Structure 1
């Protein structure tokens, strides 16, 4: 089982760069890059909420479960 992170897809849909998201959310580019690559082990709800607010999306748009 795996959780797939679709942050890159949402960034492309919103025509936004990772650096821009980083500045608006207040999370480092390095940490967002780790999240984008799916190598993150956990994410704070406050961070997820901030990302969803900036990208105008739902958590399910960013995270996907695949067997």
Structure 2
């Protein structure tokens, strides 16, 4: 079992390998989701695409579940 002091030291050692500022770039993605959604709908039955979009509007969870391309 590790002590609190050991865990704090491990965290500081890990931060030297991967700084907090370098992790900020992970979430910065410049892409427009609309063309990705339209591209993922190509070749699908139109009435089902409309149903899919309606279900994606319910919540952020259903949006992400309905369109994994983003």
- Per the TM superposition, whether the score is higher than 0.5 is no
Which one has the largest radius of gyration? 2
Q: Would you tell me which structure has more strand in proportion to its own residues?
A: 1
TM range, normalised to the smaller chain?
Answer: 0.3 to 0.5
Greater relative contact order, per chain length (Cα 8 Å cut-off, separation 6+): 1
Q: Would you tell me which structure has more helix in proportion to its own residues?
A: 2
